[in-house]
Structure 1
Amino acid sequence: MRIAVIDGQGGGIGKAVVEKFRKAFNNKIEIIALGTNSLATSLMLKAGANEGATGENAISYNVKKVDIIVGPIGIICANSFLGELTPQMANAIADSPAQKILIPLNRCNILVTAVEKKPLPHYIDDAIEIVKAQRGD
């Protein structure tokens, strides 16, 4: 199973996702770090991603080749992450056949109803449970 983790700006969310996924699955999954900038990609690689790529073309190309995409909800919104996530990236992510597991953080003026407000690590745990269910773990 190939999982793309997408993040931008400081890369802290992606780093946390990669660390928790690596701990939960060890080497049973392949994690691709896709950063909107090199800092985000670098942090995700240091956290345990198998490989990483940066920028618009890398994200647009790789999201077609993974089973699951994990990231903050802003990854499907053009110009989120203070404009780092381009319309082409958002479109490629939304159009990807991969299942998307979106973490509902309110950093890009998107409020999701019926979502319990909780800390980031708890949302990542929820994402891990979704992947486990899909794998049959």
Structure 2
Amino acid sequence: MRITVIDGQGGGMGRVIIEKMRKEFREQVSILALGTNALATSAMLKAGANEGATGENAIVYNSKDSDIVIGSLSIIMANSMLGELTPKMAEAIMDSKARKLLIPIYRGNIDIIGLQTEPLPHLVDTLIVEMKKYLGGIKHV
């Protein structure tokens, strides 16, 4: 099972996600950290990702081989993250056959009606519950 976490800017959200995934799943899953920049990738690697890569080509290339892609809602929106997330990246993520588990955090001019505003740690806890459902007790890497 290959789980890809995508983040940009300082990698703070990706770091929190990977730390909680490691705590919950230990080494049962393989985590690939993909950052839009080196700082984000580094933060996610320090949090416990197995591998990491940076930039547009890394995200485009690796998105297609993932079983699950995790990130904020902005990873499917071209030019988000202050322009770090390119249209090619957004398209590759959306075209991936991977299950996408997206956290509804976006600092742009978009409001998603019907969502409750929750702090990041609560949203990541909900993400872990969804991953457990999706993984269905898988015990291998």
Q: What is the TM-score when the length of structure 1 is the normalising length? A: 0.97
Which letter does structure 2 place at the counterpart of 1:68?
I
| Counterpart for residue 32 of structure 2 | 32
Q: Which moved more, 1:36-45 or 1:98-107?
A: 98-107
Q: Quick one: distance in 1 between partners of 2:108 and 2:28?
A: 33
Q: Quick one: distance in 1 between partners of 2:30 and 2:106?
A: 28
Deviations 1:46-72 (A, max 9, x none): 000000000000000001111000000
Per-residue deviation at 1:109? 2.6
Q: Quick one: distance in 2 between partners of 1:77 and 1:33?
A: 19
Q: Quick one: distance in 2 between partners of 1:108 and 1:24?
A: 31
Which letter does structure 2 place at the counterpart of 1:65?
D
DSSP 3-state at the match of 1:82: helix
| Counterpart for residue 11 of structure 2 | 11
Gapped runs of 5+ residues in structure 1?
Answer: none
Q: Quick one: distance in 2 between partners of 1:136 and 1:110?
A: 33
Q: What is the TM-score when the length of structure 2 is the normalising length? A: 0.94
State how many pairs are aligned. 137
| Counterpart for residue 102 of structure 1 | 102
| Counterpart for residue 54 of structure 1 | 54
Per-residue deviation at 1:43? 0.3
Per-residue deviation at 1:135? 1.5
Q: Percent identity?
A: 60
Q: Quick one: distance in 1 between partners of 2:123 and 2:110?
A: 16
Per-residue deviation at 1:74? 0.3
Which letter does structure 1 place at the counterpart of 2:107?
R
Task: Provide the alpha-carbon RMSD of the alignment.
Answer: 0.8
In the TM superposition, structure 1's runs of 4+ consecutive aligned residues that sit over 3 Å from their partners are none
Gapped runs of 5+ residues in structure 2?
Answer: none
